[in-house]
Structure 1
Amino acid sequence: MGFQCQQFYIKDDQCAMKVSTDSLILGSYAGVNEARYALDMGTGSGLLALMLAQRQPQLQVDAFDCDAAAVAQAASNVAASPWPGRVNVQQGWVETWHGVRNYDLIVCNPPYFSGHPASESVARQQARQGQATPQQWLQCIARNLHEQGLCYWILPYSQAEVWQREAQAVGLCLSEQLAIRTTQRKPMKLVVQGWQWQPCATVKKEEMLIHATDGSYSSAYRQLTGEFYLAGTGSSLKAQ
């Protein structure tokens, strides 16, 4: 099982959470700019880390996950990719992680299904619901984000307010936001937010549909994620 991107292949059969549109949106949207060092918190299969490496040729990426099987699979995916020397995968925990440097860019697709019914797989349930609280995720970000750095995450729209409070509590300021509907008729499902230490005079806010009226991926979604999908493979993924 896995997902073929244009420049790399992701195996995810050993990971509780599979490749989904969530990570593809986040990895495509996050501003890599002139970043030299990035951190992927809760990397899972390593998809986000490899997306960042593809987008910014000078970027060095550290990635961690608490699940040993996911770490092993992410490391295997990295080793098989074009950038094995630029992505470092380790086992680590949000509650205690502290990198050897502060990062220009931090990304995370955190577990956010707290309150959902128990999953069939204990590992999947743990990955979705997580052990660390939003406060602990934000404290980890605060410990590791450079004073000029940017942090991006993707969340259910319904949980954005909780995370926003915790972000503001550690001193972060919202810089941009992409609100996402799966279809035009459905309410907002997801939100990508970018955060930094310095306040922004204007917060950039946009909206996007994942699917067009005919069920295919929308032109906006295709444009955003286009450098990763192979032609003809853009119809098999779902939001988590």
Structure 2
Amino acid sequence: MKPFKFKQFTIHQDRCAMKIGTDGVLLGAWVPIESSINSILDVGTGTGVIALMAAQRSNAETIDALEIDADAYEQAVENFEASPWGDRLFCYHASFQEFFQEIDDQYDLLISNPPFYTSDYKTENRQRDLARFQDALPFEHLFIGASRLLSDQGKLAIILPFKEEENVIEIGKQVQLFPQKITRVRGNATSAIKRSMILFGFNHSECELDELVIENNRHQYTDAYSNLTKDFYLKM
């Protein structure tokens, strides 16, 4: 499998169950990263793509990542070390559940492209299942962990299927994390909403809501999508 080349870094992904996909790149490009953010955690990093995008986009001194799968963990470490920001990137080989119970550090931003396929989709490939399925990281665990790990002004950014949006907002409320920005994603102008990207924080403020359409026609990207991803994709 050929490496995936971005403008400022390259991702090797032959040992990762979950390859580079639109979801991860969308979230990595979309997540608001203010200049005050000094520490970032990418939960379930896979290839490391979101952590690398955060490093390219920010001056955060600490960019940590977490990966439970041994092969993906090793590959993320190699991708980090080969990048221009190796001195700011660090990957832990652990589950999120273990991590948030043992770590005292706090982060200004948590980002997660979580595994969100429910158990009806189980395949024969256990590694891929682990990367994809909710039983690897239930949403409840993500929010409980986030509520412990985030600094007072900290934020949690996730991407998930649109049908899970209401459910996840309810889970967030239980730990005092409220939606502050929601971008709903359509493949094209006439297709159904497929994904929701949500930024949560502890402040119960007015939620900013918008939509992003990826394509006008097949392989003809909208200006909005091109502008969002042009700093990363070679052909944008």
Report the TM range for the smaller structure's normalisation: over 0.9
- Deviation for aligned residue 1:37: 0.3
Q: 1:179 aligns with which of 184, 209, 213?
A: 184
- Deviation for aligned residue 1:96: 2.0
Structure 1 stretches of 4+ moved >6 Å: none
Per-residue displacement from partner, 1:106-163 (whole Å, max 9, x unpaired)?
1000000114432342211121014232111111111111111111000010111221
TM-score by length of structure 2 reads 0.94
- Mapped partners of 1:78, 1:215: distance in 2: 30
Per-residue displacement from partner, 1:207-239 (whole Å, max 9, x unpaired)?
0111112442221111111100113xx5xxxxx
The residue aligned with 2:110 is: 106
Equivalenced residue count is 231
The residue aligned with 1:66 is: 68
The 5-angstrom pairing of residues 70-89 of structure 1 reads 70-89=72-91
Matched, 1:156 2:157: no
- Deviation for aligned residue 1:186: 1.4
SS of alignment partner, residue 15 of structure 2: coil
The residue aligned with 1:138 is: 143
- Mapped partners of 2:167, 2:13: distance in 1: 29
- Mapped partners of 1:172, 1:91: distance in 2: 26
SS of alignment partner, residue 136 of structure 2: coil
SS of alignment partner, residue 96 of structure 2: coil
The 5-angstrom pairing of residues 150-229 of structure 1 reads 150-200=155-205, 202-229=206-233
Moved more, 63-72 or 95-104: 95-104
Q: Give the share of equivalent positions with the same residue, in percent.
A: 31
Q: CA RMSD in A?
A: 1.3
The residue aligned with 2:95 is: 93
Distance of aligned partners of 1:74 and 1:214 in 2 relative to their CA distance in 1, 3 Å threshold: closer
Q: Is the 8 A contact 1:184 1:213 kept in 2?
A: no
Q: Is the 8 A contact 1:53 1:60 kept in 2?
A: no
- Deviation for aligned residue 1:172: 0.6
The residue aligned with 1:43 is: 45
Question: Any stretches of 5+ residues in structure 2 without a counterpart?
Answer: none
Higher relative contact order (CA 8 A, sep 6+): 1
Question: Any stretches of 5+ residues in structure 1 without a counterpart?
Answer: 235-240
Counting helix residues as a fraction of each chain, which structure ranks higher? 2
